[in-house]
Amino acid sequence: MIDKKDEKFKFKLNGKGFHCETDVAISLIGGKWKTVLLWYLKGEKKRFGELRKHCPHITERMLSITLKQLENDGLISRKVYTKKPPMKVEYSLTDFGKSLIPVLDTIAAWGKDVAETKGEKFMDE
């Protein structure tokens, strides 16, 4: 039986209601840093410090929070190596996270096009 308060939602995922398909997607990848971190993880595993170097404007706290959100949503996995000091933690895309690669590529291509046609170039690639 559908609860009256849930009738206004088209989808329900992990206990949250969503109005449309875009609402679902944005809840998973929206925000300032999620897509950026997913972009840097799409090629290979990365350690916390490596991600921090790729995103110098993110605070350690925000990086930690965002990685935890991505992990909780099943988009990335966190592997801790404790065999020998110092402890090492690596982050990588899950299979579910890898399903976003075509979307990330499309977003990046669109962003590049916008930057080239409407923006100014500050750095050489």
**Per-residue confidence band for 1, with pLDDT thresholds at 50, 70 and 90:** very low
pLDDT tens profile 5-38: 557 888 887 778 888 888 888 988 999 999 999 9
Burial of 70 (0-12, 13-18, 19+ CB in 10 A): buried
Cα 70 from chain centroid (whole Å): 6
pTM over 0.85: no
Strand partners, 12: 17
Cα dist. 36→18, 49, 52, 88, 110 in Å? 24, 15, 11, 22, 14
What domains does the chain contain, in order, with CATH numbers? 18-113 (1.10.10.10)
